[in-house]
């Protein structure tokens, strides 16, 4: 087979040889080198419409937008089939699934042998981070999924433009993906090909490779996202002295026009995208979105920490998104969107749970079946997604594609805690902030688990995404101050929007009113507000939190700021049990922080 290669743009022999090797292994019928153009996007979309993978939406209601329905067996990340193939099991750590690299590669080579017969191989050069940024990194994904190629066009900087900064370098991350459903002679294709019985997402951090087989959905197949931008990038960041984090980045501007940038890490279902795209309830304050999911951070020559969003688009969860919760997200989705596993209205638009107060009387659900409000199953899958360019967001920050990145003044950690953790508190220093980040958690409810208050800890919201030993990852955090001075590091805060009263209702209104907490953080970064010292950190003193126009009782505010010593002694015991997981890899500084907390609580 003659392999098309844009020689006019690149003479990269390493890239050509790698692609040629995968063509020989996978044996596709055709090879398509993605150029990233608008014309190519329309070509791929039309091809997917013809194959039944995509359905065009009503062009008057949702221009140039499409709906995909996946195989019901292929709807989310498959953490139990996700592997870190480091040379030693200890390097993967206790929170990852480890496989020996040679054994994993041998198993994958057998699966990939001939896996693209009857299909087209798409070669997608992509860049994570602004093209001319020193922190940007380049990857190439090979896939037999036009849906993946289309999605990568929306979520990354991809195509011919990436070959210029790549040049002749062989320093690109090699990403190989297959649906695992070859089309031999006489075989019939299906709208959503996949191989649920043989799914593997394997990361080889030492050789900077990612191999994915059997799934066509989300992070299993869009290898630039969690696989590269977090799991492999976290190892690159450790080796090169920067940070790859599961964080949003927002710009916050006060009424006087002063602006600060904030990064924030939250586990799932804790409002990360809503915060990144917030419409503040405080007059004169403005929030702009740099990114809603991933941040790459580096200390630069001036001693300050700067962040870039490695992504170029949003791959967000649709259910729960509405004009009440996130109007900027809804406006982002007015056109040029790829929806997956949402419901469809009779007039050719989309709908999902939480989108409107009233449920439509009739829909076609995510499985393609008729649905009414009386149906026992949801209309949209709980993990239904939207994929759109970040530039479409009305509140996108002007610096979202700045190769210099944006200077970070504060880092927030948050979880979903109905009790114990106050609305906001500030860490004493970087080590204390790392301790706080290492302990963030969400609590389950009886409806979810049968046991109220079960704590699930997710250090830095990175538990599923760290590509090496989590204890060593925390040590890397503690090494960061060695590259600068304490006064130039971001201040670290914890927030908790989810504290409840005795009646079980949320005490804090959340959403746009979270700007009131951001205002206090902004002003603390400027040296304003004395705060009130507690055993766990500094909380707002009485009168420091701007509650103007908010109907919040004194009792509610007192509970929101309460630091109950007995509850925190129980918390400290839970943290000690959590730390056992990391064994000898737990940094001594975090043990010291825990002991100091216990002393302050005694």
Whether the pLDDT of residue 394 is over 90: the answer is yes
Burial class (CB in 10 A: 0-12, 13-18, 19+), 177: buried
Full-prediction pTM beyond 0.85? Answer: yes
Measure the CA–CA gap between 190 and 181, rounded to whole angstroms: 10
Token pair for 153: 């066009």
Angle (nearest 5°) at CA 320 between 492 and 192: 110
Whether the pLDDT of residue 472 is over 70: the answer is yes
pLDDT-based confidence at 164, cuts 50/70/90?
confident
Token pair for 345: 């209205």
Whether the pLDDT of residue 5 is over 80: the answer is no
Token pair for 302: 């001036």
- Alpha helices by DSSP H, listed for 182-249, are 218-221, 233-240
- Alpha helices by DSSP H, listed for 347-467, are 430-439, 446-449
pLDDT for the residue 180: 98
- The upper half-sphere exposure of residue 241, i.e. CA atoms within 13 Å in the direction of its Cβ, equals 8
Q: Please name which of 372, 393, 464 lies closest in space to residue 96, comparing C-alpha atoms.
A: 464
34, 270, 393, 466: which is the annotated catalytic residue? 270
Burial 476-505 (b: 16+ CB within 10 A, else e): bbbebbeebeeeebbbbbbbbbbbeeeeee
The predicted model gives 196-204 an average pLDDT of 97
Whether the pLDDT of residue 595 is over 50: the answer is yes
Q: Over the stretch 479-495, which tens digit does the pLDDT of each residue have?
A: 999 999 999 999 999 99
- Are the C-beta atoms of 219 and 294 separated by less than 8 Å? no
Q: Over the stretch 23-53, which tens digit does the pLDDT of each residue have?
A: 999 999 999 999 999 999 999 999 999 999 9
Whether the pLDDT of residue 446 is over 60: the answer is no
Q: Which residues contact 532 (CB under 8 A, 6 or more apart)?
A: 538, 539, 540, 541, 542, 561
- Alpha helices by DSSP H, listed for 133-186, are 146-155, 160-166
Measure the CA–CA gap between 556 and 185, rounded to whole angstroms: 68
Residue 123 DSSP SS3: strand
Sort strands 97-98 and 82-84 into parallel, antiparallel or unpaired: parallel
Q: Which residues contact 123 (CB under 8 A, 6 or more apart)?
A: 19, 31, 32, 33, 34, 140, 141, 142
Using only the alpha carbons of the chain, give its radius of gyration.
24
Q: What is the DSSP letter of 222?
A: -
Q: Specify whether 34 is catalytic.
A: no
DSSP 413-446: EE---SSSS-SEEE-SSHHHHHHHHHH-EEE--H
Whether the pLDDT of residue 6 is over 90: the answer is no
Q: What percent of the chain has pLDDT over 70?
A: 97
Helix axes 430-439, 588-601, angle to 10 degrees: 90
Measure the CA–CA gap between 363 and 343, rounded to whole angstroms: 7
Q: Which residues contact 464 (CB under 8 A, 6 or more apart)?
A: 77, 79, 82, 226
pLDDT for the residue 453: 58
Domains along the sequence of the chain with CATH: 13-33+79-241 (3.40.449.10), 248-293+405-601 (3.90.228.20), 314-392 (2.170.8.10)
């Amino acid at each position: 087979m003659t392999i098309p290669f844009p020689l006019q743009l690149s003479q990269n022999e390493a890239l050509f040889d790698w692609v040629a090797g995968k063509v020989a292994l996978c044996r596709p019928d055709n090879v398509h080198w993605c150029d990233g153009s608008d014309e190519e996007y329309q070509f791929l979309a039309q091809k997917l419409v013809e194959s039944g993978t995509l359905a065009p939406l009503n062009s008057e209601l949702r221009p140039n937008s499409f709906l995909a329905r996946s195989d019901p067996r292929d709807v989310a990340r498959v953490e139990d089939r996700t592997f870190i193939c480091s040379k030693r099991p200890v390097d993967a750590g206790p929170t990852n699934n480890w496989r020996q690299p040679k054994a994993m590669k041998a198993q994958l080579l057998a699966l990939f042998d001939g896996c693209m017969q009857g299909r087209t191989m798409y070669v997608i050069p992509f860049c994570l981070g602004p093209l001319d940024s020193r922190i940007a990194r380049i990857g190439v994904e090979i896939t037999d999924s036009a849906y993946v190629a289309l999605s990568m066009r929306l979520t990354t900087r991809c195509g011919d433009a990436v070959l210029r900064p790549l040049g002749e370098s062989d320093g690109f991350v090699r990403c190989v993906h297959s649906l695992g459903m070859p089309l031999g002679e006489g075989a019939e294709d299906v709208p959503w090909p996949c191989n649920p019985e043989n799914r593997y997402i394997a990361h080889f951090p030492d050789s900077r490779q990612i191999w994915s087989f059997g799934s066509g959905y989300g992070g299993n197949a869009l290898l630039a996202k969690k696989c590269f931008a977090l799991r492999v990038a976290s190892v690159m960041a450790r080796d090169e002295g920067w940070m790859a984090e599961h964080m949003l980045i927002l710009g916050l501007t006060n009424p006087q026009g002063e602006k600060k940038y904030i990064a924030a890490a939250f586990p799932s279902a804790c409002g990360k995208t809503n915060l990144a795209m917030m419409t503040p309830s405080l007059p004169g304050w403005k929030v702009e979105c740099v990114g809603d999911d991933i941040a790459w951070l580096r200390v630069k020559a001036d001693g300050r920490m700067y962040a870039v969003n490695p992504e170029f688009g949003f791959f967000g969860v649709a259910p729960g998104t509405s004009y009440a919760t996130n109007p900027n997200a809804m406006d982002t989705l007015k056109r040029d969107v790829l929806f997956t596993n949402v419901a469809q209205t009779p007039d050719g638009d989309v709908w999902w749970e939480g989108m409107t107060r009233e449920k439509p009387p009739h829909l076609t659900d995510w499985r393609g079946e008729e649905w009414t409000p009386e149906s026992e199953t949801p209309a949209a899958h709980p993990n239904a997604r939207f994929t759109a360019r970040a530039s479409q967001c009305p509140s996108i920050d002007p610096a979202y594609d700045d190769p210099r990145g944006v200077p970070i003044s504060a880092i927030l950690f948050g979880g979903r805690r109905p009790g114990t953790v106050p609305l906001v508190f500030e860490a004493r220093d970087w080590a204390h902030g790392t301790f706080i980040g290492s302990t963030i958690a969400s609590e389950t409810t009886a409806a979810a688990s049968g046991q109220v208050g079960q704590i699930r800890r997710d250090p830095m919201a990175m538990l599923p995404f760290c590509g090496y030993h989590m204890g060593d990852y925390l040590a890397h955090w503690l090494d960061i101050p060695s590259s600068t001075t304490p006064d130039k590091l971001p201040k670290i805060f914890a927030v908790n929007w989810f504290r409840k009263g005795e009646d079980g209702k949320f005490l804090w209104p959340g959403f746009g009113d979270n700007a009131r907490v951001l205002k206090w953080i902004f002003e603390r970064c400027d040296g304003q507000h004395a705060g009130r010292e507690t055993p766990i950190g500094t909380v707002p003193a009485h009168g420091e939190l701007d509650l103007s126009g908010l109907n919040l009782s004194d009792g509610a505010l007192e509970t929101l700021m309460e630091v109950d010593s007995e509850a925190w002694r129980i918390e400290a015991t839970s943290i000690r049990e959590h730390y056992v997981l990391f064994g000898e890899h737990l940094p001594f500084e975090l043990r010291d922080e825990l002991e100091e907390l216990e002393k302050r609580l005694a």
